[in-house]
Amino acid sequence: MPGSTLVRAAIFTAGALVGGGVATALSNRRSQQTIVAVPSPNGPRPVIEVGPSGRTHITQPEASLSLVPQVLKYGNPGPIADPLVRKAYVAAYDRRLRHPAWTAEHLTLASLGKSPLSPPADPTAAGDRGKSTFIEDDSLPVPFRARLQDYFKSGYDRGHMVPAADAKFSQEAMDETFLLSNIAPQVGDGFNRHYWAYLEDWCRRLTGNFSDVYVFTVPLYLPRLETDGKWRVTHEVIGSPPNVAVPTHFAKVVLAAKPSSPSTPNILELSAGAFVLPNAVIPDDTPLENFSMPVEAVERAAGLTLFSDAVKASAKHICKTTSCQLVIRRFDDAQKRPNMRRAVSAPN
């Protein structure tokens, strides 16, 4: 199996699906004994449990589980995170907050159209941001969609979780980044149009040093210590009626891989980093490392498992294997000066 495939398998792992009449074998490493449980066709199915030490064992289900088909006879209320599979990214949409719960991308020089070994098949088919418009996602149930009118005069930008600049390989891919299911409210001047854009650009530039770059973007709602000594989560909701939640913070979590040496292309060196930024104005000269957090802290705050424990344990901190220096480019200021328009283009 190629090295990059191993990384993908480590990141995007799926649970085993156990059905009636299917034998489940669990191997004990110490004794090398195998326990096989075959559920009766008409009896209750066994439950595979994982103990605190990580060891697995099989038990019979609790009797209360028999209540499930009775109580939920007319439907399971959820919660449901709608899976979204696009040309340039995958994501999960949070119906309650009406923005993505997370987005995930796999960036390479080829996917960004910058690889001399894999030039675009049809350069004329590349995405043009000027042809894309923000639209509501009609694949989502109407009551749970973010709407264009929610952002109107809200004071917030429609912030891309997956940047349009990451999906330039086709117009369809770029258009999908403008779906409101890929958008969350962000402070505009000083954040979405500036520091956040620099961070997105930094993620793309990682492809110059790494063969594969995986990027997770996660909106967060973090508590703040108030004057009475208590911690509270307070956030705005925009729209009329109030419809879309405004995250207090955003996380960018990256996992980058490259061959450890030319002679061992299938042995990968992994680097990882997590950065949690407040949804607020951030001065351009603020070091990115000021926002560095353990990946586990983001996972706990979001209720997600982004990488396996094995990947997190083997990965070096990305700021120790490459530069975490942002490139500061005032894209909006350049657009105000006609003589600069050709030299600098918008990042997302």
Counts for the chain of helices (H) and strands (E), in that order: 9, 18
- Which two three-digit tokens encode residue 69? 């088909």
**Could you give phi then psi for residue 6, rounded to 5 degrees?**
-60, -40
In the block, tokens 């200021």 appear at: 333
Instruction: Out of 99, 106, 160, 194, pick the active-site residue.
Output: 160
Residue 317, both tokens: 């901190």
Backbone angles phi, psi at 258, to 5 degrees: -155, 155
The two three-digit tokens of residue 269, written as one number: 């060196």
How many whole angstroms separate alpha carbon 339 and alpha carbon 14?
52
Distance CA(250)–CA(235), nearest Å, equals 13
Q: 57 an active-site residue?
A: no
Cα atoms found within 13 Å of the Cα of residue 36, Cβ hemisphere only: 4
Q: Where are the alpha helices (H) located in 78-178, listed in sequence order? A: 148-151, 171-176
Positions annotated as catalytic residues are 160
